[in-house]
Amino acid sequence: MAKLTIIIPTLNEEEFIEQAIRSASFADEILIIDSYSDDRTLDIAKEHPVTIYQRHFDDFSSQKNYAIDKAVNDWIFILDADEVISPELREEIIGELKKDNPSEAYEVGMTRMFMGQQMKYGTARNDSKTLLFNRKHCRFGQKLVHENLVVNGKTGVLKHKALHYTYRGFDHFAGKKNHYAWLQAKEKFAKGKKPNLFHFLIKPSFRFFSEYIIKRGFMDGYPGFFNAYINSYGVMTRYIKLWLLHHDQK
């Protein structure tokens, strides 16, 4: 069987890092790439057989590519600290790595947990990422946020899912959206994009309508409403920050 390195990017993840590491314990190497956490993240991680590197965060792609280069093995699985590999997914990963001719990469679905419940609608309906791959054929493209893995070859789809605990309190969730908004604004600013009234009035409203009505986020109750509303607010915030960058303000 091909050997596997599971990479876990961290920044102040003391609440979830333990369960992430435990779910990754079947890997031949667990590599932590830490952005200089100032909580107990590394203390908890050091209680387990893991390799730790620290690097100042500039963007998600660079952080992950750095860790990929440091890994001992060619087969990589990227596991965020608030995610857990289910037992079923673990066995499926092992099965794929035993194959003589596996795909170059594999897409993994997410079971999203938000405000204490499993989200089944809205953006959670088709929530998946390419997480398992052979680094000889794959590299993250240079995007500041929502980085994409460039795959030179075939991408398979695993049928079992990972668990994604997206919520650890309202302030943290809102702060995460704010952080992403700044990264997205900087990315658009670097490309010379300028906001207008369409971006402020229409795009946030469409985001809410799409998630809550078209994708039936209302079926998830109040958490579905809150999630759609906060995501639409994140769109508005992105373009406000882009406007501020063009006017040399913060």
Domain 4-165: homologous superfamily in CATH: Spore Coat Polysaccharide Biosynthesis Protein SpsA; Chain A (3.90.550.10)
- Evaluate if residue 194 carries a pLDDT over 80: yes
> Residues in the chain, how many?
250
pLDDT digits (tens, 9 = 90+) for 197-232: 999 999 999 999 999 999 999 999 999 999 999 999
> So what's the pLDDT on residue 87?
98
R_g of the chain computed on alpha carbons: 19
- Band the pLDDT of 179: cuts 50, 70, 90: confident
Which residue do the tokens 């600290």 mark? 81
- Evaluate if residue 88 carries a pLDDT over 90: yes
- Evaluate if residue 147 carries a pLDDT over 80: no
Residues 6+ apart with CB under 8 A from 110: 83, 124, 127, 128, 129, 161, 162, 163, 164
- Evaluate if residue 5 carries a pLDDT over 90: yes
Domain residue ranges of the chain, discontinuous segments joined by +: 4-165, 170-246
> So what's the pLDDT on residue 125?
76
- Band the pLDDT of 167: cuts 50, 70, 90: confident
| Tokens matching residue 62 | 């660079």
- Band the pLDDT of 29: cuts 50, 70, 90: very high
- Evaluate if residue 177 carries a pLDDT over 90: no
CA 183-186-190 angle, 5° bins: 140
pTM reported for the whole predicted model: 0.86
> So what's the pLDDT on residue 250?
62
Helix (H, G, I), strand (E, B) or coil at 195: coil
